Amino acid sequence: MPDAAGIGVEPALIDPTSPVDTRDPDWQGQSMDYWPCYSDISPKARGAYLSWLAGGRANPNAYIGYVFLYFYGLERRLLTEIPELDNSGAERAILVAEVRRLLQIYSGNRSFKGYAEGLLEAATLLDPAVRYDRAAPPVTEWSHELPIDLKIGLAQLAVEGRAVPADWALSWYAHHPDTYLRTPAVRCPNEFLELFTKRYRAKFGDGLVVKPNKPRLSVSYYAASIGFQGHVDLENTALPDVGRLSGPITKLRDIVEAVTSDLEAYSRYLGRYPDGAGSPAAIALLPDGVTHKPSPETDALWSWAAQCIGSDGRGVISAQELISRWPTKTGKLAKADSVAVAQLLEHRGLGIEPDVRFGGTTPTPTSSIVLFRRAERPVSAPGVEYAAALAIINLGMLVATADGTVSEPERRTLRELAIDELDLSEDEQLRLDAHAALVLTKPPTPAVLRRRLESLSTSRRATVGRLLTTIAAADGQVTPDEIRTLERLFTTLGLDPGDVYGSLHAAATDDLTRAEIPGKQKAGLRIPPSPASRQDSTTLTLDPERLARTRAESVLVAAELAEIFADDEPVAPPSPPPVDEAAVDGLDDAHTRLFHLLVARDTWSRAELDELAAEVGLMPDGALEALNEAAYDRTGEPLCEGSDPLDINQDIVKDMLG
């Protein structure tokens, strides 16, 4: 029987006429050549080989040359004979299963493992079974080649005009040699797949539909048997090689990078606390669209927060009640904790005031907070006009609380000034209501106003004065307490307190508002008589046209007051320390300098790393190894992860600095 190349005798052919020595078999294969042929091996070797076959081909200690000799026959049958047969699916499955069985037993031999895996890939190419109706090949951190099952499944989808499912799209991207999955995708595979799937479907519906290309799917297999004389080139003429297309990979890259970035904070947390998934801090870091089973502590915090909210959609409570339910070792909330709390509540449609993301202060054990229900479409950052609305609320509450109470007309006027003339989302409006409730627990004082209005021009201060009197007269009555407060505020503003009555009279004219003003009126000023139809002197009457002008002016003032009344600076990542200020244990001066340069950002490209390393006179790969070794010694975690881009584990920076 000729071999596959038609040159010599088939190496795997068992010639029953050849002598066999079963009394003294060559178990160790000492008489075997590198490329054995049954017709050429010694009788002792034939005895050992036939005994191994008869014993079930399963002895793990068998000489690997005997395994290869048997394997040659499987190669020939699968690659040259099965493809020529009709209805060969059942036999192909049996032969493939046999190769897998051998691989499981003898995979410790790297040479056999490589040939067996290559044969399985070659045999798979010619298998017509549908692939895309099963789960996609598992995602790996990096691959130099697409698995053959993935290639075939993608080709079948293209030929049939079907959309590529999300898991197949991600597997395609992950196995592509020109791509690399960063740490969040590897550390958080379930969360990554969930978010990728949602983003993928949002962009492509059922999925990408790939058009077949001209190149056919092929495999080049280097046969183990010398009977093939080297490479065996196989081609499936029915399937296009769509896996090599770069266009779909480019489209997928945008989604993968966005999902990776959104999961970075969550991934870093799990890197530092591997058992922390489901905790309040971990759930808070999950981006929208990702679900994870919460811990009992997280569920308890959500339940408590919901119970704190009354029928009006909000509730005022002590901040200590929240702090006691948050995992903090100091008994206080840091800014990062405050952000996490707000994000955690946001996952259940709840909000908190103050919120540091909206310029609020960090809650302290002695302060109050307001929990409230969010709008259907919550926002996580203030819009351009939110700060102006906040200034109106803060300034208005200063006057409105002067008489010990805030009337409903005053509330309504404040809300109209803060909302109607400004472009605010529904969620921002609900937040302003919550902020107003918070301000009532501790209204701003004139001293606060004095400190924050020093930078205003004289003309703007006069406008602020008119705004204050408009708010005071909003409920149709101006009490003696409110007048005294206005006089103090006018003095604070550097205005003549005697102008309070003039401003109130201007606000009390029929075409704007009608209010009762106690006390002796200033000479030369007269409150116009009310229309005969109005008998109730406390009724608030507003002229829409003039009110619009007043509100517009108020909004301009509020916009200027926005920065002045901001409770706090927006949350920003900590600045890295100067490179000459902090030493790092285990690092010399050059590596310490590189450490401080790297921790200034979360991510660096490989090219940027090379430049930084050159700047301090170090080889990049060796420097990274030294940095990670120091990090492991200090924290048990690496400082740098990935290759291009390079991710910096900011969670351990402080620990490394001692």
Hey, CA dihedral for 78, 84, 89, 94, is it positive or negative?
A: negative
Residue 542: predicted pLDDT:
35
DSSP SS3 for 238:
strand
The residues that bridge with 516 in the sheet, in sequence order, are 477
* pLDDT of the residue at 22: 92
**DSSP tag of 356:** G
For the cut 50, the answer to whether the pLDDT of residue 569 exceeds it is no
Q: How many alpha carbons fall within 13 Å on the CB side of residue 141? A: 10
User: What pLDDT is stored for residue 561 in this prediction?
Assistant: 61
User: Looking at the DSSP assignment, which residues form a beta bridge with residue 463?
Assistant: none
DSSP letter for 232, please. Answer: E
Share of the chain above pLDDT 70, in %: 82
Q: Name which of 311, 269, 318 is nearest 292 in CA terms.
A: 269
Q: Pick the residue with more confidence: 130 or 46?
A: 46
Lowest mean pLDDT among 58-72, 333-347, 519-533: 519-533
Q: What pLDDT shows up at residue 634?
A: 78
pLDDT of residue 283: 93
Per-residue pLDDT at 315: 95
Q: Which residue has the higher pLDDT, 210 or 1?
A: 210
- Predicted pLDDT at 192: 95
Q: Which residues lie closer than 8 Å to 84 by C-beta, 6 or more apart?
A: none
Report the alpha-carbon distance of residue 471 to residue 450 in Å, rounded: 19
Nearest C-alpha neighbor of 117 from the set 62, 180, 153, 75: 75
Residue bearing the bigger pLDDT, 81 or 557: 81
* pLDDT over 70 at 449, yes or no: no
Average pLDDT of the segment spanning 127-138: 85
pLDDT band at 568 (very low <50, low <70, confident <90, very high): very low
pLDDT (0 to 100) of residue 351: 96
Q: In Å, how far are 330, 606, 612, 648, 649 from 600, measured between CA atoms?
A: 27, 16, 12, 9, 11
Instruction: Give whole-number Cα distances, 530 to 212, 511, 543, in Å.
Output: 83, 10, 14
Q: Are 612 and 597 in contact (CB under 8 A)?
A: yes
Strands, DSSP E only, in 309-405? 314-318, 350-353, 368-373
Quote the CA–CA distance of 304 and 360 in Å, as a whole number: 22
Mean pLDDT in residue range 612-636 = 82
Instruction: Check whether 141 has a pLDDT greater than 70.
Output: no
- Selected residue with higher pLDDT from 385 and 347: 347
**Cα–Cα distances in angstroms (integers) from residue 257 to residues 118, 249, 359, in the given order:** 33, 12, 29
Residue pair 78/123 in contact by the 8 Å Cβ criterion: yes
Task: Determine the pLDDT at residue 646.
Answer: 85
- Alpha-carbon distances of 253 from 30, 157, 169, 177, 604, rounded to whole Å: 54, 20, 11, 13, 18
Residue 21 is which amino acid?
D
Q: What integer is the mean pLDDT of 355-379?
A: 92
Contacts (Cβ under 8 Å, ≥6 apart) of 560:
456, 460
pLDDT digits (tens, 9 = 90+) for 407-448: 677 677 677 766 666 778 999 999 999 998 898 887 766 666
Where does 589-656 sit in CATH, by number?
Answer: 1.10.10
Query: For residue range 541-565, what is the model confidence (pLDDT) as tens digits?
Result: 334 454 455 555 555 566 656 655 6
The CA distance from 542 to 370, in Å, is 32
pLDDT(619) > 90: no
- Whether pLDDT at 189 is above 80: yes
CA dihedral angle for residue 120, residue 126, residue 130, residue 133, rounded to 10 degrees: 30
Query: Is 299's pLDDT higher than 70?
Result: yes
Task: Return all residues near 80 (Cβ < 8 A) that are at least 6 apart.
Answer: 4
Cα separation values, 651 from 267, 357, 485, Å: 11, 21, 50
- Going by C-beta distance under 8 Å and a sequence separation of 6 or more, which residues neighbour residue 500? 469, 483, 486, 487, 490
Which of residues 215 and 558 earns the better pLDDT score? Answer: 215
Q: What is the pLDDT of residue 208?
A: 95
* Whether residue 47 has pLDDT greater than 70: yes
The residue among 139, 74, 65 whose CA lies nearest residue 100 is 74
pLDDT category of residue 258 using cuts at 50, 70 and 90: very high
Q: State the virtual CA torsion across 581, 582, 586, 589 in degrees, nearest 10.
A: -20
Q: Where are the beta strands (DSSP E) in 530-614?
A: 603-604
Is it the case that residue 540 has pLDDT exceeding 60?
no
Tokens, residue 392: 């109106």
CA proximity to 265, closest of 252, 247, 284, 246: 284
- Kindly report the average pLDDT of the chain as a whole number: 82
The answer to whether the pTM exceeds 0.85 is no
The residue ranges of every structural domain in the chain are 280-373, 386-561, 589-656
Collect all residues with Cβ–Cβ distance below 8 Å to 41 and sequence separation of at least 6.
31, 32, 33, 49, 69
The packing angle between helices 148-160 and 166-175, to 10°, is 130
In the predicted structure, residue 387 carries a pLDDT above the cut 90: no
Q: What is the pLDDT of residues 460-513, one digit of tens each?
A: 677 777 777 776 666 666 777 778 878 877 887 788 888 887 777 766 553 434
Answer for the pair 11, 66: CB distance below 8 angstroms, yes or no.
Answer: no
Contacts 24+ apart (CB under 8 A), 299-307: 300/325, 301/325, 301/326, 301/344, 302/344, 302/345, 302/347, 302/348, 302/350, 305/345, 305/348, 305/350, 305/371, 306/348, 306/350
Q: Which helix (H) or strand (E) holds 116?
A: helix 110-125
Which residues partner with 231 through β-bridges? 222
Q: How far apart are CA 522 and CA 583, in angstroms?
A: 71
Q: Which of 601, 623, 599 is nearest to 610 (CA)?
A: 623
Q: Report residue 193's pLDDT band, with 50, 70 and 90 as the boundaries.
A: very high
Mean pLDDT of 67-73: 96
Long-range pairs for 249-254 at CB < 8 Å and ≥24 separation?
249/172, 249/173, 249/176, 249/178, 249/179, 251/208, 252/169, 252/170, 252/172, 252/173, 252/200, 252/208, 253/173, 253/179
pLDDT for 41 equals: 94
Helix or strand (DSSP H, E) at 204: helix 189-204
Residue 106's nearest CA partner among 140, 77, 70, 139 is: 70
Cα 99 → chain centroid:
42
Give 140 or 359, the one with higher predicted confidence: 359
Q: 30-34, 39-43, 44-48, 462-466: lowest mean pLDDT where? A: 462-466
User: pLDDT grade, residue 580 (50/70/90)?
Assistant: very low
Is residue 235 scored above 60 in pLDDT? yes
Provide the strand spans (E) within 509-606: 603-604
What integer pLDDT is reported at residue 198 of this predicted model? 96
- CATH for 386-561 is 1.10.3680.10
How far is 356 from 572, CA to CA, in rounded Å?
10
What pLDDT, on the 0 to 100 scale, is given for residue 544? 46
pLDDT at 278 over 60: yes
Phi, psi of 236 (to 5 degrees): -100, 100
pLDDT the model gives residue 500: 80
Low-confidence winner among 178-182, 282-286, 528-532, 642-646 (lowest mean pLDDT) = 528-532
